[in-house]
């Protein structure tokens, strides 16, 4: 296509092509041209008076007659999506469908009412071409991006997205498409993930973060859960899914933000590489709850994760508690004020949040005093933190090691590749979909630990939901062993024990540390 466009123009250019490639007279049998030969050809071409039209190829680019070994499709994809998700988006979509072949403007007008802005937008971004022939105006798609456009239009569900009412949600579509592009680009490059399994991740985190590894482990497991694969019983019935919301509660300065944000999105200033799914974590720092409810409309029927560093502030806004409960429950959201109605829309994404709240009590007998705790506990997997002397020392030691470059994080890319692969399988981007098998032995083991704990406590200060959340956690942990199984993922002993550790520690905290945790040391390894 590239050679045809620039060298099958006239006798002079065809002669140049034959001379450079040492061809006879048949130009239809060109099978291979090296990058060096292409560069030389375009240098020679500058001697001829050839129209300097642009070319946006998957592997090569030509702008103003200058040839480059640079691919253009990522850039063109952003341009196309910018048009598709603009205010003229529905018309852009229809126009692009028409222009797979040269189409008369008179015909376009009959198919797409008031299409001038859409055409000008596409022309301005060099996506389509315009010609005047025999008194007619003709538009058509660039040949080199036809496949790209077709692929984009196939994946875009404009029927749903054109229903969006909120102005902020329409603007958010561009951010969402940027994240989609980031994810798809990363997915196309993953390769080194075969070694990763549960043991691999645990070894990496323990060596890197010492005593603080478990919180970071939970945060990474929440990322695995976003694949949201089915959890099935032995009768092949779906009983739940892996996806869950994660909340770190407790005093400021206990390492919550590092676990939910820094380790997931990375921090170049601290030399911390990202460990989370690329293009699937929407950071909400500085965002109000009201803005979130509005932009959430753009994410309907999608599986993203929202990282909220100050979740407690969102509950201070009047009228926000009930919409936030619906969002955490993945239910239909409708928000009404005097002059605006947002929704209704179905929210199916997830949260990882940092909730600063006072955990207090004499002699370390702790209790949660925040009135919103119960509402969140019912809808999230909650982890409580208290700034003890031991935790303070562990955080200080970790900060020192990060600052001095003593933490080896070179395996982060392998882990991220594996995580991205599992998410892609679960969400239909390729690979083999595998549900998690939940067997009766998992419940039996959980019940055994629960009975032992109940023998130790006088007052039950935890919800039965904590038990089901822990089982869901065991299923999500098991996704680390995704490559070991053919048809479904099993919950092995180590994955279950890690979930039991979470269950045990949370009951101990919520029971005001009323029993000796050392008596359950077998679960604390």
* pLDDT tier for residue 495 given thresholds of 50, 70 and 90: very high
Q: Do the Cβ atoms of 193 and 417 come closer than 8 Å?
A: yes
User: Which pLDDT score is estimated for 236?
Assistant: 86
Q: Which range has the top average pLDDT, 151-155, 263-267, 344-348, 465-469? A: 263-267
pLDDT in tens, 369-424: 666 777 787 788 888 777 667 777 777 877 787 777 777 788 999 999 999 999 99
Do 401 and 505 share a domain, yes or no?
Answer: yes
Q: Does some domain include residue 506?
A: yes
Q: Which range has the top average pLDDT, 418-432, 479-493, 504-518? A: 479-493
Among 32, 49, 71, residue at a domain's last position: 71
- State the pairing for strand pair 340-346/332-337: antiparallel
For residue 384, what is the domain's CATH number?
3.40.50
DSSP 267: B
pLDDT in tens, 89-113: 888 988 998 887 788 888 888 888 8
Does the pLDDT at position 87 exceed 90?
Answer: no
Q: Does some domain include residue 327?
A: yes
Among 145, 162, 179, residue at a domain's last position: 162
DSSP 166: -
Do 380 and 503 share a domain, yes or no?
Answer: yes
More confident residue, 226 or 378: 226
User: Which pLDDT score is estimated for 128?
Assistant: 92
Can you tell me whether residue 61 is helix, strand or coil? strand
User: Which pLDDT score is estimated for 233?
Assistant: 92
The residue segments making up the domain with residue 154 are 74-162
Q: Which two tokens stand for residue 22?
A: 């040492």
pLDDT in tens, 419-472: 999 999 888 777 788 999 999 999 999 999 888 888 877 766 667 788 899 999
- Rounded to the nearest 10 degrees, the angle between the axes of helix 198-209 and helix 412-426 is 140
Does the pLDDT at position 130 exceed 70?
Answer: yes
Contacts of residue 219, defined as CB under 8 A and 6 or more positions apart, other chains included, come to 246, 259, 260, 263, 264, 352
Helix ranges (DSSP H) in 125-255: 146-155, 158-161, 167-187, 198-209, 213-225
User: Which pLDDT score is estimated for 85?
Assistant: 81
Q: Does some domain include residue 169?
A: no
Q: Which range has the top average pLDDT, 21-30, 128-137, 176-185, 470-479? A: 470-479
Stretch (H or E) spanning 450? helix 440-454
Do 397 and 485 share a domain, yes or no?
Answer: yes
User: Which pLDDT score is estimated for 494?
Assistant: 94
Can you tell me whether residue 16 is helix, strand or coil? helix
Q: Does some domain include residue 172?
A: no
Q: Which two tokens stand for residue 409?
A: 């994080």
Length of the chain: 525
Q: What are the DSSP E strand ranges found in 118-193?
A: 128-133, 136-141
Q: How far apart are CA 231 and CA 237, in angstroms?
A: 8
Distance of CA 377 to CAs 214, 371, 380, 466, Å? 19, 11, 5, 8
On average, the pLDDT of the chain sits at: 82
* pTM exceeding the 0.85 threshold for the entire prediction: no
Q: Does some domain include residue 179?
A: no
Does the pLDDT at position 42 exceed 60?
Answer: yes
Buried b (16+ CB within 10 A) or exposed e, 362-393: eeeebebebebbebbbebbbbbbbbeeeebee
Mean pLDDT of 276-297: 93
Number of domains, the chain: 3
More confident residue, 347 or 170: 347
* pLDDT tier for residue 492 given thresholds of 50, 70 and 90: very high
Q: Do the Cβ atoms of 126 and 63 come closer than 8 Å?
A: no
Do 156 and 17 share a domain, yes or no?
Answer: no
pLDDT in tens, 250-278: 777 778 888 899 999 999 888 899 999 99
Q: Does some domain include residue 180?
A: no
Do 289 and 376 share a domain, yes or no?
Answer: yes
Q: Which range has the top average pLDDT, 104-108, 129-133, 391-395, 481-485? A: 481-485
The 3 state secondary structure assigned to 407-422 is CCCCCHHHHHHHHHHH
Nearest to 520 by CA among 509, 512, 505: 505
Does the pLDDT at position 27 exceed 70?
Answer: no
Do 102 and 130 share a domain, yes or no?
Answer: yes
Do 37 and 108 share a domain, yes or no?
Answer: no
């Amino acid at each position: 296509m590239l050679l045809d466009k620039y060298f099958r123009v006239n006798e002079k250019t065809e002669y140049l092509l034959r001379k450079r490639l040492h061809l006879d007279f048949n130009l239809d049998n060109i099978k291979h041209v090296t990058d060096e030969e292409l560069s030389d050809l375009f240098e020679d071409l500058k001697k001829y008076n050839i129209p300097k039209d642009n070319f946006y190829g998957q592997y090569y680019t030509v702008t103003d007659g200058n040839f480059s070994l640079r691919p253009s499709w990522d850039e063109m994809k952003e341009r196309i999506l910018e048009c598709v998700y603009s205010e003229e988006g529905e018309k852009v979509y229809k126009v692009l469908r028409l222009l797979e072949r040269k189409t008369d403007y008179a015909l376009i007008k009959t198919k797409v009412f008031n299409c001038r802005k859409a055409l000008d937008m596409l022309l301005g971004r060099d996506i389509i071409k315009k010609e005047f022939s025999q008194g007619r105006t003709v538009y058509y798609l660039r040949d080199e991006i036809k496949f790209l456009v077709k692929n984009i239009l196939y994946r875009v569900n404009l029927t749903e997205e054109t229903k969006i009412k909120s102005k902020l949600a329409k603007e958010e579509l561009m951010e969402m498409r940027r994240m989609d592009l980031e994810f798809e680009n990363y997915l196309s490059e993953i390769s080194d993930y075969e070694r990763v399994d549960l043991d691999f991740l645990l070894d990496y985190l323990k060596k890197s973060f010492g005593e603080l590894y478990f919180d970071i482990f939970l945060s990474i497991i929440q990322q695995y859960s976003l694949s949201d694969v089915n959890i099935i019983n032995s009768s092949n019935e779906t009983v739940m899914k892996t996806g869950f919301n994660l909340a770190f509660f407790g005093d400021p300065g206990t390492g919550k933000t590092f676990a939910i944000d820094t380790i997931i999105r990375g921090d170049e200033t601290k030399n911390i590489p990202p460990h989370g799914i690329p293009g699937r974590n929407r950071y909400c720092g500085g965002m109000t709850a009201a803005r979130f409810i509005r932009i959430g409309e753009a994410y309907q029927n999608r599986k993203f994760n929202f990282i909220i560093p100050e979740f407690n502030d969102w509950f201070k806004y009047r009228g926000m508690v009930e919409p936030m409960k619906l969002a955490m429950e993945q239910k239909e959201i409708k928000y009404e004020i005097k002059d605006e109605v947002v929704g209704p829309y179905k929210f199916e994404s997830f949260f990882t949040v940092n909730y600063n709240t006072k955990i207090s009590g004499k002699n370390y007998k702790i209790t949660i005093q925040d009135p919103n705790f119960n509402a969140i506990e019912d809808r999230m997997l909650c982890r409580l933190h208290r700034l003890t002397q031991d935790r303070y020392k562990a955080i200080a030691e970790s900060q020192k090691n990060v600052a001095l470059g003593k933490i080896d994080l070179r395996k982060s890319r392998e882990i991220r590749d594996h995580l991205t692969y599992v998410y892609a399988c679960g969400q239909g981007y390729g690979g083999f979909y595998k549900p998690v098998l939940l067997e009766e032995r998992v419940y039996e083991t959980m019940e055994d630990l629960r009975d032992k704990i109940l023998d130790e406590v006088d007052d039950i200060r935890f919800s039965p939901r904590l038990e089901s959340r822990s089982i869901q956690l065991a299923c999500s942990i098991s996704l680390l062993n995704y490559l070991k199984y053919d048809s479904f993922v099993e919950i092995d002993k180590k994955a279950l024990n890690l979930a039991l550790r979470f269950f045990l520690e949370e009951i101990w905290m919520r029971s005001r540390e009323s029993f000796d945790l050392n008596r359950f040391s077998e679960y604390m390894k």
